[in-house]
Structure 1
Amino acid sequence: MRIAVTGAAGSLGGRVVQLLGDRADVDVVAMTRRKLPAEAFPPQVEVAVANYADPPALRAALKGVDTLVLVSSDGPDAQVLLHHRNVVAAATAEGVGHVAALSSVDADVASPFCYAVVNRLTEDLLLSSGVPCSFARASLYVEFFQAWLIEARTTGLLRLPAADGRISLVARDDVARSLAALAVGEPTGRHHDITGPESVDLAGIASITTEAWGTPVAYVDIPDAVYCAETAASGLDPWWLYAFSSMFASVREQRWDRVRDDYAQLTGHSPVALRDALSAHG
């Protein structure tokens, strides 16, 4: 089986490449936007330089590919959706037999979160393309959320506009394992919710952080306008300020309050708990 992975230079895509590359029955194509040093991937992995914005390069990289793991592009939402359109068009043109795509637990055009809209539209693109597909709808990553926790460890306060929203934070490695499992299986034609084993509010996350790191952290709910003003003053790029603000709006709507056993069904293992993930990276 020949499996291509987009975003292979990133943390998630790179881990999927590693997991698939360890299998004797899989030939892996690591798709990257730019040429990387030869030692970036194991010697048995083929590397194809194919920018999401370059349809001919995408088609060339997907020639002879049985399965594509579509790891999301990044940047402004309109750009990401265009990139995904290009990938879906290339996969369709080259007769790829299965696309295992990354999506999100909040994949809904009615969501305030910009990437929830992109993810749902990407799912719809794939479903309408006729290419057999499977979706790993991931919750928010522990490693992504940890940036706010590290800051809170310094100040003692986790100041975010999340109200009483609950999140089932998931380890990124668990998401990678789910995508790898979907890639080597038959297309399921549906989504699989990849979540952590528990859903907790921000006060609970602060409490778990305190236990895992041994440093007192307390959650303070702040208005979105205050969050935006303070974050803008820190110099964050305006796009990412909008993206994060819209994400917390979706948290307040309880769109990430979901715990499912799909990860265990796909991999035969239990997902990593937040406390254990933080302890390992403390």
Structure 2
Amino acid sequence: MSIAVTGASGQLGRLVVEALLKQGAATIAVVHDPAKAADLAAQGAEIRQASYYDPAALDRAFAGVQRVLLVSGNEFGSRVAQHTNVLRAAERAGVELFAYTSIPNIDHNELILAREHRGTEAVLDAAAIPVVRLRNGWYWENYLNGLTHAIESGVLYGAAGTGRVAGASRADYAEAAAKVLTTAGHGGQNYELGGDSLGYADLAQAISEASGKPVRYQDLPQADYAAALEQNGVPAQYALIVADVDAGIAQGILDVETGDLQRLLGRAATPAVEVFRAALV
């Protein structure tokens, strides 16, 4: 069975390819720039070049493929069209399973990040091939950019109030995707994926434990948090999205309690403190 992973040179796609290779799966890494996937080729992946904008290249990339993982793109404003191109190519190839990395609670998720996922899932609703939705929760790695500042200042800032977020490591989500791609019975499934449920005070404690330095959580109004991020060099659009995510966490939108991730992994998800500790080595 041949499995293609799109966006394979990115942070998540790369980990999925590596997880598949460890299982001995015939793995095709679909990338925009093959030079960025040389290490995956060295590990045994077949490299095929295609972009989400190029239907003909996607057709070539999916030739002879039985299963496809579409790792969602990162070009905001263009993602639904890009994802549709990938799905149509998979349909033309007649793949037996099409997996898509989405976001939790899509039916009532009002986050900025959810908008194009919702649009993509609407397209998937009419797919001519079996689809599985991998609704990935938050990555603990999303907090790494602010890790040094939190440790040095002793304060983790955010706008999540007393809300909780069920996160896991990026590698956990990659391993779960590899499990879905290499086993049967997943067509038509919607997996709501999340790990340990933590409040931001818990996250501050995890940073403190990983670093050996005291860190506390300081809650800010959403607009103030976005402004503070921008003042500290975060691009305005990204600062808006980060603050919007925290507001969603305050409402419980990313507190996933289904156990789907743990069942796919056959183990507990990676604790936040382990991700933070590894980043500080």
TM-score for both structures, normalised by structure 2: 0.92
* Cα distance in 1, alignment partners of residues 32 and 238 from structure 2: 21
Code of the residue aligned with 2:21 in structure 1: it is: G
Q: How does 1:225-236 map to 2 (within 5 A)?
A: 225-236=223-234
* Cα distance in 2, alignment partners of residues 254 and 218 from structure 1: 21
Code of the residue aligned with 2:225 in structure 1: it is: Y
- Quote the offset at 1:106 in angstroms: 3.9
- Quote the offset at 1:136 in angstroms: 1.7
Does residue 15 in structure 1 map to residue 40 in structure 2?
A: no
Structure 2 counterpart of 1:80: 79
* Cα distance in 2, alignment partners of residues 112 and 120 from structure 1: 10
Asked whether the equivalents of residues 193 and 256 of structure 2 are also in contact (C-alpha less than 8 Å), the reply is: no
Code of the residue aligned with 2:34 in structure 1: it is: K
Structure 1 counterpart of 2:189: 190
Code of the residue aligned with 2:278 in structure 1: it is: A
- Quote the offset at 1:269 in angstroms: 2.2
Spell out structure 1 runs of 4+ moving beyond 6 A: none
Code of the residue aligned with 2:60 in structure 1: it is: A
Does residue 203 in structure 1 map to residue 211 in structure 2?
A: no
Structure 2 counterpart of 1:246: 244
Structure 1 counterpart of 2:93: 94
Structure 2 counterpart of 1:280: 278
Equivalent position SS for 1:168: strand
Code of the residue aligned with 1:226 in structure 2: it is: D
- Quote the offset at 1:34 in angstroms: 1.6
Structure 2 counterpart of 1:31: 30
Asked whether the equivalents of residues 112 and 246 of structure 1 are also in contact (C-alpha less than 8 Å), the reply is: no
Counting aligned pairs with the same residue, the percent is 29
Asked whether the equivalents of residues 138 and 170 of structure 1 are also in contact (C-alpha less than 8 Å), the reply is: no
Does residue 51 in structure 1 map to residue 51 in structure 2?
A: yes
Asked whether the equivalents of residues 8 and 31 of structure 1 are also in contact (C-alpha less than 8 Å), the reply is: yes
RMSD of the TM alignment (CA)? 1.8
* Cα distance in 2, alignment partners of residues 38 and 205 from structure 1: 33
Post-superposition Cα deviations, 1:184-209, rounded to whole Å, max 9, x if no partner, equal: 1233312112211x212111211222
Asked whether the equivalents of residues 135 and 192 of structure 1 are also in contact (C-alpha less than 8 Å), the reply is: yes
- Quote the offset at 1:130 in angstroms: 2.3
* Cα distance in 2, alignment partners of residues 143 and 83 from structure 1: 25
- Quote the offset at 1:60 in angstroms: 1.4
Does residue 165 in structure 1 map to residue 163 in structure 2?
A: yes
The number of residues matched between the two structures is 278
* Cα distance in 1, alignment partners of residues 55 and 23 from structure 2: 29
Post-superposition Cα deviations, 1:220-244, rounded to whole Å, max 9, x if no partner, equal: 1111121222222233333322322
Post-superposition Cα deviations, 1:152-193, rounded to whole Å, max 9, x if no partner, equal: 111111111111111011111100000000011233312112
- Quote the offset at 1:12 in angstroms: 1.1
Asked whether the equivalents of residues 112 and 249 of structure 1 are also in contact (C-alpha less than 8 Å), the reply is: no
TM-score for both structures, normalised by structure 1: 0.92
Of 153, 167, 176, 1:155 maps to: 153
Code of the residue aligned with 1:158 in structure 2: it is: L
Q: Cα gap change, 1:62/1:251 in structure 2, threshold over 3 Å: closer, same or farther?
A: same
Equivalent position SS for 1:259: coil
- Quote the offset at 1:258 in angstroms: 2.1
- Quote the offset at 1:13 in angstroms: 0.6
Code of the residue aligned with 1:141 in structure 2: it is: Y
Equivalent position SS for 1:175: helix
When structure 1 is superposed on structure 2, of 246-255 and 34-43 the one drifting more is 34-43
Post-superposition Cα deviations, 1:44-98, rounded to whole Å, max 9, x if no partner, equal: 311111111222211211111100011111031x212221111112111221210
Any stretches of 5+ residues in structure 2 without a counterpart? none
Of 153, 159, 175, 1:177 maps to: 175
Asked whether the equivalents of residues 228 and 241 of structure 1 are also in contact (C-alpha less than 8 Å), the reply is: yes
Equivalent position SS for 1:128: coil
* Cα distance in 1, alignment partners of residues 72 and 103 from structure 2: 10
